[in-house]
C-alpha cells in the first residue's frame, strides 16, 4: 500500500470537477436495478465502493454496463425480481453498499452472504438488521452483527412503523428499500432529519412516498409494490469530496479554487455552513436542481478562520466532514468545539480517535470527547513533525484530511496509506496537484 508526503503549497488555483456523489451513486444503481426498463446514469462515482455495488446488482440479476466516463446503463428486473446470487457478495470497504443491500435482499425469497475487506468486517451492521428482522428477514452474523453475514430473505415481509433509535440515513434507506417489495405501507420515523437522497430518487423512479415533520425529525412512509420505471439520473458532485479541496483552498494563503457541480442538499451542506460561520469566503454560482437535489459551483478564496462551537444538531448534515473540519479548526484563531458526532466512532475507523491522535502528533492542541473534538487553533500556518508518519487506519477520509493539512503546514506531512482514497475520490492526488498541491507517492517500506 503506497504512502504519501504532502509538502507546503505556495498557492492553489484553478477549477475542479468534483467526483460524483457516492451516496446518490449507490442508490441510483440499486433503484435502476429494481426498475422496469433502462436507466441511464451520468456522473456516477467510479470509485471502488460504488463499483462493488454495481457488481452486486449484476450478481442479483440486473444488467449494469459502463458506456463511458461516469456513464452507465442499468436494465432492471422490476420490484421483487432480484435473483439469488451464485457467490458471496463482496462489498469491499463500502458500509453504505452493505447496509442498503441488506434492505434489498431482505425482501426477496433468496439466500445471500455478504462480506467485505478487513475494515468493513469490523463495522457493525446490527442497526440495519434489527428493523429488517421485525419485517420477517433472518440473519446469521459474527458477534456484534459484523460481516461476513448471511441473509435469508422473504417475499412475504410485513410492513412496519419503525422509529430509529439513532438518526441514520443508511438504516432509514435499508428499511425503505425493503418496503418496496412489501405490501402495505412501511414507515420510518427519524429523530432528526438525515440525508434524503433515497427519498428524492424513490420519487424520481415513481415510488409513492409521503414525508411529514414529527417532533424534531420526520416521518417517511412508502407504499409497497410500486411500478418503478427506468429514468435518466445525473449525479451531482459529492459535497464530502468537495470538502477537501475547499478546506485546502481556505487554508493556503492567496488561493482561489472553483469547484464545479457540487451537490448542496440542505441535509448534506453542514460543513459549508460551518465554514462560512468561521469566516470562510465561499461564493455560489450556477445554482440549479438535479432530481430535486440543489447543485451549484463554489468559488473558495484563502481565508483566515476563527474558532466556533459547532451546533451538535448539525452533525447528521456533515458527519463525514468532521475530520477535514478538524484540520480547518487547527488553522483557525481560537477554539473550535465539535459535539454530537458519536457516529464517527464506528465509521471506517474510529475517526474521532484517529484525528485526535494525528493532530496531537503534529503539535496541535486537541481534546478528544466521547462524541467529538475540541481543537485549539494556531491562527495561521500549521505545525509539522518531520519524521512522523500519520496513521490512517485504512480510512480514506483520514488520509485526505492529513494530506490537506500538509498543504498548509510549515513542513511536510506523511501519511502511512493512501490506496483507500480511491474508494471515494479516484485520482485525488492528481486532482489536488493540478490545483498546485505538492503531494508525492512512495511505496511503504
Residues annotated as catalytic are 320
* Contact between 218 and 242 (Cβ < 8 Å): no
* Among candidate residues 164, 181, 174, 167, the one with its CA nearest the CA of residue 198: 174
Query: Which strands sit side by side in the sheet containing 365-369, from one edge to the other?
Result: 309-310, 335-338, 372-376, 365-369
* Contact between 235 and 20 (Cβ < 8 Å): yes
* Contact between 400 and 244 (Cβ < 8 Å): yes
Measured CA to CA in angstroms, residue 66 lies from 55, 74, 237, 271, 294 at distances of 11, 9, 19, 32, 26
Q: In this structure, what C-alpha cell is assigned to residue 441?
A: 507517492
Cα separation, 278 vs 318, in Å, equals: 15
Orientation angle between helical segments 270-277 and 322-331, nearest 10 degrees: 10
Amino acid at each position: 500500500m503506497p504512502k504519501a508526503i504532502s509538502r507546503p503549497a505556495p498557492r492553489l488555483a484553478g477549477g475542479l470537477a468534483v467526483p460524483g456523489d457516492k451516496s446518490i451513486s449507490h442508490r441510483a444503481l440499486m433503484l435502476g436495478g429494481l426498475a422496469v426498463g433502462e436507466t441511464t446514469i451520468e456522473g456516477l462515482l467510479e470509485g471502488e465502493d460504488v463499483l462493488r455495488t454495481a457488481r452486486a446488482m449484476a450478481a442479483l440479476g440486473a444488467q449494469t454496463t459502463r458506456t463511458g466516463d461516469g456513464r452507465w446503463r442499468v436494465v432492471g428486473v422490476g420490484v421483487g425480481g432480484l435473483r439469488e446470487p451464485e457467490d458471496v457478495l463482496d462489498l469491499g470497504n463500502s458500509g453504505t453498499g452493505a447496509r442498503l443491500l441488506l434492505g434489498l435482499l431482505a425482501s426477496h425469497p433468496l439466500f445471500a452472504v455478504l462480506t467485505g475487506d478487513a475494515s468493513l468486517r469490523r463495522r457493525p451492521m446490527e442497526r440495519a438488521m434489527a428493523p429488517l428482522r421485525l419485517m420477517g428477514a433472518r440473519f446469521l452474523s459474527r458477534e456484534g452483527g459484523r460481516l461476513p453475514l448471511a441473509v435469508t430473505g422473504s417475499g412475504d415481509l410485513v410492513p412496519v412503523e419503525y422509529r430509529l433509535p439513532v438518526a441514520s440515513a443508511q438504516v432509514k434507506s435499508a428499511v425503505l428499500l425493503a418496503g418496496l417489495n412489501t405490501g402495505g405501507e412501511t414507515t420510518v420515523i427519524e429523530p432528526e432529519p438525515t440525508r434524503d437522497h433515497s427519498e428524492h430518487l424513490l420519487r424520481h423512479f415513481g415510488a409513492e412516498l409521503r414525508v411529514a415533520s414529527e417532533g424534531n425529525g420526520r416521518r417517511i412512509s412508502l407504499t409497497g409494490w410500486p411500478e418503478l420505471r427506468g429514468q435518466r439520473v445525473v449525479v451531482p458532485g459529492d459535497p464530502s469530496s468537495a470538502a477537501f479541496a475547499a478546506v485546502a483552498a481556505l487554508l493556503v494563503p492567496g488561493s482561489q479554487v472553483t469547484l464545479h457541480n457540487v451537490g448542496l442538499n440542505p441535509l448534506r451542506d453542514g460543513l459549508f455552513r460551518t465554514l462560512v460561520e468561521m469566516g470562510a469566503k465561499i461564493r455560489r454560482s450556477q445554482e440549479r436542481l438535479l432530481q430535486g437535489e440543489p447543485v451549484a459551483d463554489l468559488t473558495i478564496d484563502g481565508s483566515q478562520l476563527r474558532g466556533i462551537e459547532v451546533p451538535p444538531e448539525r452533525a447528521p448534515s456533515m458527519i463525514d466532514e468532521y475530520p477535514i473540519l478538524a484540520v480547518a479548526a487547527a488553522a483557525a484563531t481560537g477554539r473550535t468545539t465539535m459535539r454530537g458526532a458519536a457516529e464517527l466512532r464506528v465509521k471506517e475507523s474510529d475517526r474521532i480517535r484517529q484525528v485526535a491522535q494525528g493532530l496531537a502528533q503534529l503539535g496541535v492542541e486537541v481534546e478528544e470527547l466521547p462524541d467529538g473534538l475540541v481543537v485549539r487553533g494556531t491562527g495561521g500556518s500549521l505545525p509539522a513533525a518531520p519524521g512522523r508518519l500519520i496513521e490512517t487506519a485504512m480510512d480514506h477520509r483520514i488520509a485526505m484530511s492529513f494530506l490537506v493539512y500538509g498543504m498548509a503546514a510549515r513542513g511536510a506531512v506523511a501519511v502511512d496509506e493512501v490506496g483507500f482514497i480511491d474508494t471515494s475520490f479516484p485520482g485525488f492526488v492528481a486532482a489536488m496537484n493540478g490545483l498546485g498541491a505538492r503531494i508525492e507517492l512512495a511505496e511503504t517500506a
